[in-house]
Amino acid sequence: MTRFSGWNVLWQGMTGQKGWSRQWRDPQPKSHYDVIIVGGGLHGLATAYYLASNHGIRNIAVLEKSWLGGGNAGRNTTIVRSNYARPGNREFYEHSLKLWENLSHDLNYNVMFSQRSHIALLHSPGAIDGAARNYNTMRLTGTPDAEIWDLDRLKQAVPHLNYAPDARFPIMGAAVQTRAGTARHDAVAWGYARAADQLGVDIVQNCGVTGIVREAGRITALETPRGRITAGKIGFSVAGNTSRLWTMAGLGRLPIESHKLQAFVSEPLKPLLDQVVVFGMGGSHFYISQSDKGGMVFGGDLDWYKSYAQRGNLPIVQDVAEAAMSVMPCLGRVKLLRHWAGVVDMSMDGSHFICRTPLDNLYLNTGWNYGGFKASPASGWWFADLIANDRPAPMIANFDLKRFERGLQIDERGAGPDPKLHG
Ligand X SMILES: Cc1cc2nc3c(=O)[nH]c(=O)nc-3n(C[C@H](O)[C@H](O)[C@H](O)COP(=O)(O)OP(=O)(O)OC[C@H]3O[C@@H](n4cnc5c(N)ncnc54)[C@H](O)[C@@H]3O)c2cc1C
Determine, following the binding rule CB under 6 A, whether residue 350 of this chain makes contact with ligand X.
no
Give the 3-state secondary structure of residue 156.
Answer: helix
Residue 303: what residue type?
Answer: D
**Of 25-33, 45-53, 88-96, 299-307, which segment contacts other proteins by CB under 8 A?**
299-307
Give CA 27 to chain center in angstroms: 27
Distance CA(235)–CA(257), nearest Å, equals 19
Q: Which is nearer to other proteins, 256 or 359 (CB)?
A: 256
Q: Which is nearer to other proteins, 190 or 370 (CB)?
A: 370
CB 175 within 8 A of CB 148: yes
Determine, following the binding rule CB under 8 A, whether residue 120 of this chain makes contact with other proteins.
no
The binder of 368, among other proteins, ligand X, none, by C-beta within 5 to 8 A per type, is ligand X
CB 152 within 8 A of CB 158: no
Determine, following the binding rule CB under 8 A, whether residue 420 of this chain makes contact with other proteins.
yes
- Closest residue by Cα to residue 412 from 377, 373, 380, 368: 368
Determine, following the binding rule CB under 6 A, whether residue 280 of this chain makes contact with ligand X.
no
The count of chain residues that interact with ligand X, using the rule CB under 6 A, is 39
Distance CA(202)–CA(376), nearest Å, equals 19
CB 39 within 8 A of CB 66: no
Q: Please, what is the minimum distance in Å from the beta carbon of residue 178 to ligand X? A: 17
**Of 108-116, 242-250, 332-340, 384-392, which segment contacts other proteins by CB under 8 A?**
242-250
Give the 3-state secondary structure of residue 7.
Answer: helix
| Among residues 255, 269, 356, 388, the one that binds other proteins under rule CB under 8 A | 255
| Among residues 5, 28, 66, 220, the one that binds ligand X under rule CB under 6 A | 66
Determine, following the binding rule CB under 6 A, whether residue 38 of this chain makes contact with ligand X.
yes
Determine, following the binding rule CB under 6 A, whether residue 277 of this chain makes contact with ligand X.
no
| Among residues 37, 52, 60, 73, the one that binds ligand X under rule CB under 6 A | 73
**Of 85-93, 115-123, 124-132, 239-247, which segment contacts ligand X by CB under 6 A?**
239-247
Residue 327: partners with Cβ closer than 8 Å, 6 or more residues away: 121, 161, 162, 277, 279, 286, 288
The pairs formed by 88-93 with CB atoms below 8 angstroms and a separation of 24 or more are: 88/351, 88/398, 88/399, 88/410, 89/351, 89/410, 89/412, 90/137, 90/138, 90/141, 90/142, 90/143, 91/141, 91/142, 91/395, 92/375, 92/378, 92/382, 92/395, 92/396, 92/399, 93/374, 93/375, 93/378
Q: Which is nearer to other proteins, 104 or 365 (CB)?
A: 365
Distance CA(87)–CA(23), nearest Å, equals 39
Binding mask 391-420 for ligand X (x = CB under 6 A): ------------------------------
Determine, following the binding rule CB under 8 A, whether residue 11 of this chain makes contact with other proteins.
no
Determine, following the binding rule CB under 8 A, whether residue 282 of this chain makes contact with other proteins.
no
CB 50 within 8 A of CB 247: no
Q: Please, what is the minimum distance in Å from the beta carbon of residue 209 to ligand X? A: 4
Q: Which is nearer to ligand X, 19 or 315 (CB)?
A: 315
- Closest residue by Cα to residue 255 from 359, 393, 411, 384: 411
Radius of gyration of the chain (CA): 22
Binding mask 331-350 for other proteins (x = CB under 8 A): -----------------x--
The binder of 417, among ligand X, other proteins, none, by C-beta within 5 to 8 A per type, is other proteins
Q: Please, what is the minimum distance in Å from the beta carbon of residue 114 to other proteins? A: 36
| Among residues 188, 245, 296, 302, the one that binds ligand X under rule CB under 6 A | 245
Determine, following the binding rule CB under 6 A, whether residue 364 of this chain makes contact with ligand X.
no
CB 200 within 8 A of CB 58: yes
Give the 3-state secondary structure of residue 186.
Answer: helix
For β-strands 202-204 and 60-63, DSSP reports them as: parallel
Determine, following the binding rule CB under 8 A, whether residue 404 of this chain makes contact with other proteins.
yes
- Residues at the contact surface with other proteins, assessed by CB under 8 A: 241, 243-244, 247, 252-258, 304-309, 313-315, 348, 404-405, 417-420
- Residues at the contact surface with ligand X, assessed by CB under 6 A: 38-44, 63-66, 70-73, 75-79, 208-209, 237-239, 241, 245, 261-263, 299, 342, 344, 368, 370-374
